[in-house]
C-alpha cells in the first residue's frame, strides 16, 4: 500500500489543474496506513499520550475496510441536533475523507474566501476604500439547510468516483450537516471540522460566481467591485450607480436560492451607501474620505476604512458571561455563582480565557483599547467578587490572605491573581489579565487598492 503522504501530495499537485477530475479515490480507504495516520491525528487533538498511537488494533481496521469494500459501512445518525457518542470508526473514516478532500479542494478555494479574521479585514481595508455601495450578506440562517444533492453535484465536478460520493452522501444523510454552523474560534475558522470542509466546498460555488462577476465588472472602466467571504458572511463593494448595486443584490439572491438551493429571505441582504456605517463580522466599519479641497467623494478617490468595536456588543459580552448587571442604566459587577465551587486557578483561567479572546478579536478596532479599558474594571471586580463569594468574605479582606509560606495569595505586588502550586509543587503567582495588556494592533497599511 502507498504511503498516505505521497498519495495526498499527488492529489494536491493534480488539484492545481482546475479541469482535472479525480478518479479511483475510494480505493485509498482500503489502505490501513491511512487509518493509522488518522488515528495519530485524532489522538493529538485530544492531547493524549502520543506513545499510545500505535495501539489501533489491526483487526478493527480490517473489519472496517471490509465493510467499506462491500459498501455495508453506515455511519451512526446524529440527526435531531443530539450527538450520541460517535463510534471511533466513524471518526476514523471522517478523518481519512477529510484528508483526501482537503488535498483536492484546498488549493481550489477562492482567494476571496478566508479562514482567518485578519486576512479578511486586511482585504477589506485594501480593496474597499473607493466603493460607493456596500452589500452585506448573512447566510448563517440559510446554512442550516444545505441541499445535499447540490453539494454532491458540486463535488462531482472535481471527483469522478461514485463510490466515494455515495459514502459522503451517507454522512450527509446521517446528519453531519444538519443544523450546521461554522466552527469559529477567536482567530478564525477551525479547520479540523469535517463539516466545515464540506460547507466550504459548497460555498465555493458562490465564490466562483462572484469572481466571474468581478472579471466582467473590470471590463467597464466606470464600474468595479470587490468581494470577500468569511464563514457565513459576505461583503461586496460596488463602484458604480445604485442600480448596479440593486442588480448585484438580485444576482446574489438568485445564486443562493437557485444555484445553491438555499432558503433565503430578502432581509439577509442589506445595501448601504458608502457614507453609512455598516456592521460586518461584529465590527462597525465606515469609510473616512480622503481630504480634498472640493467637498465630495469622487469616483477615483480612495478613503480609509476604519474598524470600530460596537458598544452594544461589549455590553452583551459582559452580560452574557455574568460579569455584571445593569441597574438604572449603570453597570454593576457581579460574582458568578457557577464558578463558586471551582478551584481558584480554574476560576482565574475562566476569566482570563474569555476576556483575552474578546480583546484579541477586537485588537484591530481603533477604539477598542479605550472601551475595553473601561470594561476591565467590571471584569476585575467580578473576578474578585467571585473569589470573595467562594470564601464568604469581603474583597478587601482577600488582599491580606496569605499562603502557608507567607506569600500573598490573591493580591501580589499590586496585582490580582491566584498563588498556585505547579506540577513541581512550587508556588507560582498566576496574574489576572491586566488592563495594560489590552493592545491596539492596526492592520498593516497598504497603498494597494486593487479590484478585479
> Could you read off the pLDDT of 265-321 as tens digits, one per residue?
888 999 999 999 999 999 999 999 877 644 444 444 578 999 999 999 999 999 999
Both 127 and 207 in one domain: the answer is yes
> What confidence score (pLDDT) does residue 296 get?
42
Range(s) of the domain holding residue 80:
1-108+159-176
pLDDT computed for residue 315 by the predictor: 97
Judge whether 151 lies within some domain. Answer: no
242 & 315 share domain: no
| Inside any domain, residue 445 | no
pLDDT in tens, 152-185: 999 999 999 999 999 999 999 988 887 777 877 7
Contact 223, 240 (CB under 8 A): yes
Residue 210: other Cβ atoms inside 10 A: 25
Residue 46 above 50 pLDDT? yes
Question: What's the count of helices (H) and strands (E) in the chain, helices before strands?
Answer: 13, 15
For residues 54-65, one letter each, b for 16 or more C-beta atoms within 10 angstroms of the residue's C-beta and e for the rest, the string is eebeeeebeebb
Cα 396 to chain centroid, rounded: 41
In which band, very low, low, confident or very high, does the pLDDT at 47 lie, cut at 50, 70 and 90? Answer: low
* Pure H helices in 157-302: 162-173, 194-218, 242-254
Residue finishing a domain among 308, 333, 355: 308
The length of the chain, given as a count of residues: 452
- Please report the pLDDT score of residue 294 as a whole number: 46
Specify whether 59 is located in the same domain as 192. no
Mean pLDDT of the chain: 89
Of the given ranges (54-68, 98-112, 122-136, 398-412), which has the lowest mean pLDDT?
54-68
Last residue of a domain, one of 279, 308, 337: 308
Range with the lowest mean pLDDT among 42-51, 246-255, 334-343, 366-375? 42-51
Are 294 and 356 within one domain?
no
CA distance 392 to 302: 59
Dihedral, CA of residue 289, residue 292, residue 296 and residue 300, to nearest 10: -70
The C-alpha atoms of residue 28 and residue 2 are separated, in whole angstroms, by 9
The pLDDT of residue 192: 63
- Which own/partner pairs from 108-111 qualify as long-range (CB within 8 Å, at least 24 positions apart)? 108/15, 108/18, 108/158, 108/204, 109/200, 109/204, 109/207, 110/204, 110/207, 110/208, 110/210, 110/211, 110/229
pLDDT at 76 over 50: yes
Q: Say whether both 303 and 357 belong to one domain.
A: no
**Domain match, 344 and 255 both:** no
pTM of the model: 0.86
In a domain, 198, yes or no: yes
Q: Distance between CA atoms of 242 and 247, rounded to whole angstroms?
A: 9
Statement: residue 144 has pLDDT above 60: yes
State the DSSP string of 282-313: TEEEEEEPPP-SS-S--TT---EEEEE--HHH
Same domain assignment for residues 53 and 164: yes
Distance CA 239, CA 209 (A): 18
Helix ranges restricted to H, 255-410: 311-320, 344-361, 368-391, 395-398
Looking up cell 460586518, which residue turns up?
280
Q: Is the domain of 266 the same as that of 387?
A: no
- % residues pLDDT > 70 (the chain): 91
End position of a domain, from candidates 308, 338, 372: 308
- Structural domains in the chain (count): 3
pLDDT beyond 90 at 68? yes
Q: What is the structure's pLDDT at 210? A: 95
**Within-domain flag for 393:** yes
User: Could you tell me if residue 370 is inside a domain?
Assistant: yes
Whether 448 is in a domain gets the answer no
Shared domain for 166 and 220, answered yes or no, is no
Mark whether 304 and 408 lie in a shared domain: no
pLDDT of 362 strictly over 90: yes
Euclidean distance between CA atoms 234 and 112, whole angstroms: 10
Q: What's the CA gap between 7 and 14, in Å, rounded?
A: 11
Q: Is position 385 within any domain? A: yes
What pLDDT, in 10s, does the model give residues 19-33? 999 999 999 999 999
Same domain for 291 and 341, yes or no, is no
Output phi, psi for 278, to 5 deg: -120, 160
Give the Å distances, CA to CA, from 439 to 288, 356, 368: 23, 11, 8
Helix locations, 70-193, DSSP H:
88-105, 117-127, 148-156, 162-173
Name the band, by pLDDT with cuts 50, 70 and 90, for residue 191: low
| Helix 88-105, helix 162-173: angle, nearest 10 | 130
Which CATH number is 288's domain given?
Answer: 3.30.70
Instruction: With respect to residue 147, please indicate whether it lies within any of the assigned structural domains.
Output: no
Is the same domain home to 65 and 104? yes
Amino acid at each position: 500500500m502507498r504511503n498516505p503522504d505521497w498519495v495526498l501530495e499527488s492529489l494536491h499537485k493534480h488539484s492545481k489543474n482546475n479541469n482535472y477530475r479525480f478518479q479511483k479515490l475510494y480505493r485509498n480507504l482500503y489502505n490501513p496506513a491511512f487509518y493509522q495516520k488518522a488515528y495519530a491525528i485524532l489522538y493529538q487533538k485530544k492531547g493524549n499520550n502520543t506513545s499510545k498511537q500505535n495501539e489501533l488494533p489491526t483487526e478493527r481496521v480490517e473489519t472496517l475496510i471490509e465493510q467499506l469494500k462491500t459498501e455495508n459501512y453506515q455511519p451512526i445518525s446524529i440527526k435531531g441536533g443530539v450527538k450520541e457518542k460517535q463510534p471511533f470508526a466513524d471518526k476514523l473514516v471522517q478523518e481519512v475523507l477529510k484528508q483526501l478532500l482537503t488535498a483536492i479542494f484546498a488549493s481550489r478555494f477562492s482567494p476571496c474566501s478566508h479562514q482567518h479574521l485578519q486576512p479578511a479585514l486586511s482585504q477589506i481595508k485594501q480593496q474597499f476604500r473607493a466603493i460607493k455601495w456596500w452589500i452585506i450578506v448573512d447566510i448563517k440562517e440559510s446554512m442550516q439547510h444545505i441541499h445535499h444533492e447540490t453539494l454532491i453535484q458540486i463535488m462531482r465536478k472535481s471527483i469522478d468516483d461514485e463510490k466515494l460520493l455515495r459514502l459522503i452522501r451517507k454522512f450527509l444523510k446521517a446528519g453531519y450537516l444538519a443544523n450546521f454552523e461554522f466552527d469559529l474560534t477567536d482567530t478564525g475558522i477551525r479547520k479540523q471540522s469535517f463539516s466545515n470542509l464540506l460547507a466550504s466546498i459548497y460555498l465555493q460555488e458562490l465564490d466562483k460566481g462572484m469572481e466571474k462577476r468581478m472579471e466582467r465588472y473590470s471590463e467597464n472602466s466606470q464600474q468595479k467591485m470587490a468581494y470577500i467571504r468569511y464563514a457565513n458572511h459576505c461583503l461586496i463593494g460596488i463602484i458604480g450607480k445604485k442600480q448596479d448595486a440593486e442588480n448585484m443584490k438580485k444576482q446574489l439572491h438568485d445564486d443562493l436560492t437557485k444555484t445553491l438551493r438555499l432558503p433565503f429571505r430578502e432581509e439577509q441582504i442589506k445595501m448601504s451607501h458608502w457614507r453609512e456605517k455598516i456592521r460586518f463580522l461584529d465590527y462597525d466599519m465606515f469609510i473616512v474620505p480622503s481630504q480634498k479641497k472640493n467637498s465630495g467623494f469622487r469616483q477615483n478617490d480612495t478613503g480609509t476604512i476604519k474598524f470600530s468595536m460596537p458598544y452594544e456588543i461589549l455590553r452583551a459580552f459582559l452580560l452574557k458571561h455574568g460579569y455584571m448587571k445593569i441597574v438604572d442604566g449603570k453597570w454593576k459587577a457581579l460574582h458568578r455563582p457557577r464558578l463558586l465551587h471551582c478551584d481558584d486557578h480554574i476560576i482565574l483561567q475562566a476569566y482570563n480565557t474569555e476576556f483575552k479572546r474578546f480583546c484579541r478579536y477586537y485588537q484591530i478596532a481603533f477604539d477598542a483599547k479605550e472601551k475595553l479599558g473601561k470594561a476591565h474594571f467590571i471584569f476585575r471586580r467580578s473576578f474578585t467578587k467571585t473569589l470573595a463569594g467562594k470564601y464568604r468574605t469581603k474583597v478587601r479582606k482577600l488582599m491580606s490572605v496569605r499562603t502557608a509560606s507567607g506569600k500573598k495569595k490573591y493580591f501580589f505586588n499590586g496585582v490580582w491573581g491566584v498563588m498556585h502550586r505547579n506540577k513541581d509543587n512550587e508556588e507560582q503567582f498566576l496574574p489576572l489579565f491586566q488592563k495594560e495588556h489590552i493592545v491596539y494592533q492596526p492592520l498593516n497599511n497598504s497603498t494597494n487598492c486593487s479590484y478585479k
